[in-house]
Structure formats: C-alpha cells, structure tokens
Amino acid sequence: MKKIKLIIFLISLIIPLKVFALIEVDITRGNLNPLPIAVSAIYSDKETTDALKKEIKVDQIGNEISIVIENNLRATGLFNPLEKKAFLQKPDVAHLKPRFEDWSLIKAQALITGKVEFKDEKVRVEFRLWDVLAAREILALAFTTVPNNWRRIGHIISDKIYERLTGEKGYFDTRIIYVSEEGPKTKRIKKLAIMDQDGFNIKYLTLGNELVLTPRFNPTNQMVTYLSYFKNLPRVYLLDIETGIQEVVGDFPGMTFAPRFSPDGKKIIMSFAKDGNSDIYTMDLENRIVERITNHPSIDTSPSYSPDGKFITFNSDRSGYQQIYVMKSDGSRVKRISFGNGLYGTPVWSPRGDLIAFTKLHKGKFYIGVMRTDGSGERLLTENYYQEAPSWSPNGRVLIFYRETKSNSDGEGFSAKLWSIDLTGYNERQVITETDASDPSWSSLLSN
C-alpha cells in the first residue's frame, strides 16, 4: 500500500500543472525630481491675526509661517512647493478635510495645512501633513510658544515634515555661527555672528576689536570655541552664548588654533604650534588636563572627532604634501586616507559617521569634496577660485562653506560669502548674510 502511495506521489510530481508564476518587475530607477508639495497658508481667524499684528507687528502670521516652511523645503532641493495661486481650496476648509481631487489636479503629492491661535499670550500652531495620492493624513502635531518664536515654529514644522517624507532628521531648527567681515580687504573688521540657518535673526557676539577665526559650537549649542588674536597672540577661546563670558582655553606657551569640541562636549581638541612644529592636543574642560595626541615633526592640524568619539581625522604634511589622516582618539594607528593629486585640508567627520568632508587644492583651484572614512569614494562636489572650511548640517546631508571672489591689487572686487551644497552636488545655494561672511559652523538641532 505504501509503495502504491509512493508511486502516486512520484507520478503527481511528474505531471505538469498549468499554473502561472507571479510576474516580477524590478524597478531600479526613478526620477530625482523634487516632490511636488502644496503648502497651504496656515489659517488664522481675524481675531488672532489682529492680536498678533499688535503684539509682534507681523501681518498675516499664518501666511508668514507657511512661507518659512515653503522656503525651507525648497532650499533642500528635495521638494517643489507649488504656487499658492493654483490652490483651489481655502486654508480653513483644507485643514478640516481636503478635497484630494483638487490637490491632485495641481499635481501635488503632499499637502500641508494648519491653524494658528492666540490664547493666554501664547501662540498655538497645529499642522497636518496629507498624502494626496493615498488620500490620508500622515502626520499631525501642535506647538505652543511665545509669539516672538513664530519663525522657530515654522522651522520645527519643516523638520517634522522633512523627517516624515525623507526618513532622515531635518536641519531647519538650527543656527549657524560665522565670522562677519566688513571693510576693505587689507583692513577687515571681523566679528563673531550667529543666525538662524535661513539667514534670519542675526546677532553679533563680539565687537570686532580683535580678529576672530574658526568658531565652533559645542554639542548643546550653548558654548562656542574660536580663535582670537588678543595682543597679536592667537589663542583658543571659549564663549558662553547666554552669558557672554569668554575665557582662554589652557595656558599654552605658544599659538593655539583650529579648535573643535569632542562629541560629548567635555574636551576641546586643537593644534598647538611651537618652534615651527604643530601637533594636536586635547584639553579636558572639567579638570583642564592637557593631553598630547600627535607627536611628529610635521604640521598636524584641523582635527575633527568621529561622531562616536573613537577616531580623529586631521591633516598633516608628514608625507611631504598636505594630506588627510585618520587615527584612534588616543593618537595610535595613524593612517593616511587621501592619495589623490593636490593638497587636502580641513577634514570634518560627518554626523552620520560615513563620510569625511574636505577642501582640496589642485592646479590653482579649490574644491569641496567628500570621501569615505577609509579614503575611498572621493567625490568633488564644487569647484571655485577660492573656497574652504566645510561644516556639516546635523543630518549629514548638506555642507556649508565660504567662497571668496578674486580682487585686484588694491583689494577691490573682493567678497566672501557663505554657500551650501548637498551631497548630490547639484543643489548649491548662497546663504544670504547682512555682511560678508566666512568660517561658518552649523549647530546641532535646537529641538529634538
């Protein structure tokens, strides 16, 4: 009996069955066009509009917040905010229940609606993000703050939308510290300045009496370390943004420069130059203990920690030409990672940890580029007459740097401006500042 069953089983295996296999199609390409998004004006009733107009002198607060969001999203190069004139539905109705057919008619794939209220001296802004094609809400949040913070609310909403639609954290609720420059090239007045990432709310932190360079935020964005020439001696300083108190970092018998905080904010890493030799040192901010990290007769400078604090990248001319190196945070296992033609400098480890940004000088031109942490996959993102000092956005997608223009022998025609570029290399934009600007440094997200 068993044998018969076995025979039947074998026969059933042999008899072919007419079943269609599921057809699979691999989609490996898509378009890189920015996502069409409709940012409807944030609705505010007449009472709220009038009250806020009196309070903070802003007409149409809802519309202004929506413009902040729109500009942020456009600047990423990943979104295409649609023209508001094409919108068929009013903001208040759209916020309650959008007519998705109307929004898909204007080719919007995502829709942002919102409502602003003014109660008990506070502004409450709620917003909703809708997937137009799926005809459903995919995010809804509300924020309450003092009226003067209305721009920040716009940035926080932008961050939430960016994160929901791209999967990575945003970078809009951030600040940029930089060196503001004024006057002729030969007699520049340089001040420390801080602003929102979109160029608004500029504040000057120093008066311009001393030359300042390379400001860098600490991880909590409350402290800044920078280089200042005091009595013609360049020293690394520490400045508390809230209190305005500043102090010299360490008592070094020579020049200290290129400072940067460790990822935990407990140490400052910098270069110390003496007798023509420059090495990398760290100083613990709690106990002020100084530690020597490199010990080489060459110039080692521009140190930058990896996000986990285990490695340090820096540039050195120990091979005869300035190149980029990586070592463990105690100074051991030094390894050269850049081998291309030209000189490499100002390496900065990405907050994601996967890339190192750098400045490259080759055949009289300056490039901003990125490479993997082992030196592979070098990509030059932008080329110009003079540009340097890249600094990463907190999500590791965008770099900010400064670019100088050529001037004649009298220094005329000279300018220094801030620029940003994303990792694709296509989305390059000038960051508008009141004055000329250099040495930018991006803060981490102010709100998480």
Partner 1 sequence: MPQNLLLSFLFHVSIIAIAIVSFPFIAKKPIDIPPIVSVELIQIADQTNIPFAPKAEKIIEKVKKEKEKLVSDQAPPKKVKKEKPDAIPLPDQEIEKIKKIEKDKQNPKIEDNKAKQVSEFEKKELFDPNNIAALIDKSKENFAETNIKNDEITQSDDESMKLSGLTLNEEDALKAQIFGCWSIPLGLPYNENLLVRIKLKLKPDGTVIQSEILDHARMNKPGQGFYKVLAESALRAVKLCQPLRVPTTGYEKWKDLQLNFDAREMLEG
Smallest distance from partner 1 to CB 393, Å: 11
Among 60, 144, 149, 166, binds partner 1 (CB under 8 A): 166
Token readout for 257 is 């420069």
Tokens at residue 221, please? Answer: 């964005």
Of 72, 89, 109, 282, the one binding partner 1 (CB under 8 A) is 109
Cα Rg of the chain, angstroms: 27
Q: How far is the CB of 113 from partner 1 (least distance, A)?
A: 19
Stretch that binds partner 1, among 10-18, 242-250, 330-338, 360-368 (CB under 8 A): 10-18
Distances (CA, A) of 55 to 50, 87, 149, 199, 205: 9, 30, 12, 23, 27
Among 33, 243, 332, 408, binds partner 1 (CB under 8 A): 33
Q: Which of 7, 93, 146, 432 binds partner 1 (CB under 8 A)?
A: 7
> Closest by alpha carbon to 281, among 263, 306, 255, 307?
255
Half-sphere exposure of 352 (CA within 13 A, CB side): 19
Closer residue to partner 1, CB minimum distance, 192 or 400: 400
Closest distance of CB 348 from partner 1, Å: 19
The stretch near partner 1 (CB under 8 A) out of 13-21, 51-59, 146-154, 241-249 is 13-21
Q: Does 17 bind partner 1 (CB under 8 A)?
A: no
The reply to whether 424 sits near partner 1 by the rule CB under 8 A is: yes
Residue 100 Cβ vs partner 1, minimum distance, rounded to whole Å: 11
Instruction: Please report the sign of the dihedral spanned by the C-alpha atoms of residue 161, residue 166, residue 169, residue 172.
Output: negative
Our CB check for partner 1 shows the closer of 109 and 180 to be 109
Stretch of 43-51, 159-167, 258-266, 407-415 lying at the interface with partner 1 (CB under 8 A)? 159-167
Q: Quick check: 19 binds partner 1 (CB under 8 A)?
A: no
Going by C-alpha positions, the residue among 217, 213, 215, 204 that lies closest to residue 234 is: 213
Residues 250-289 that bind partner 1 (CB under 8 A): none
Please name the residues in contact with 9: beta carbons below 8 A apart, sequence gap of 6 or more: none
Phi first, then psi, for residue 155 (nearest 5°) are -70, -40
Q: How far is the CB of 37 from partner 1 (least distance, A)?
A: 11
Q: Which of 96, 134, 142, 289 binds partner 1 (CB under 8 A)?
A: 134
Torsion sign (Cα): 428, 432, 433, 435: positive
Helix (H, G, I), strand (E, B) or coil at 290: strand
Distance CA 231, CA 209 (A): 11
User: Judged by CB, which is closer to partner 1: 36, or 199?
Assistant: 36
Instruction: Please give the structure tokens belonging to residue 117.
Output: 């209220």
Q: Provide the CA 18 distance to its chain's centre, in angstroms.
A: 57
What residues pair up with 410 in beta bridges, in sequence order?
Answer: none
What kind and span of H or E run contains 289?
A: none
Q: Are 279 and 293 in contact (CB under 8 A)?
A: yes
Candidates 26-34, 40-48, 265-273, 428-436; binding stretch for partner 1 (CB under 8 A): 26-34
Per-residue interface string for the shown chain with partner 1, residues 68-107, x marking contact by CB under 8 A:
----------x-----------------------------
Q: Whole-number minimum distance, CB 230 to partner 1, in Å?
A: 43
Q: Please say whether the beta carbons of 231 and 217 come within 8 A.
A: no
Question: 351-410: which residues touch partner 1 (CB under 8 A)?
Answer: 354, 379, 395, 397
Nearer to partner 1, 29 or 187 (CB): 29
DSSP state of 229: E
Select 4 or 207, whichever has its Cβ closest to partner 1: 4
Measure the CA–CA gap between 244 and 226, rounded to whole angstroms.
14
When binding is defined by CB under 8 A, the residue of 1, 31, 57, 247 that contacts partner 1 is: 31
**Helix (H), strand (E) at residue 202:** none
Task: State yes or no: residue 214 binds partner 1 (CB under 8 A).
Answer: no
Please state, as a whole number, how many other Cβ atoms lie within 10 Å of the Cβ of residue 80.
15
CA neighbor of 425 nearest in space, from 347, 364, 355: 355
Q: Does 421 bind partner 1 (CB under 8 A)?
A: no
How many C-beta atoms surround the C-beta of residue 13 within 10 A? 8
Identity of the residue, 7 or 432, whose beta carbon is nearer to partner 1 in the bound complex: 7
Only one residue has tokens 């291309």, namely: 340
User: Given the rule CB under 8 A, which of 28-36, 40-48, 195-203, 263-271 is the region that contacts partner 1?
Assistant: 28-36
Give the binding range for partner 1 (CB under 8 A) out of 131-139, 176-184, 291-299, 400-408.
131-139
Question: Is residue 1 a contact residue for partner 1 (CB under 8 A)?
Answer: no
Nearest to 113 by CA among 135, 90, 133: 90
Which residues contact partner 1 by CB under 8 A? Answer: 3-4, 7, 10-11, 14-16, 20-35, 78, 109, 131, 133-134, 138, 163-168, 354, 379, 395, 397, 424
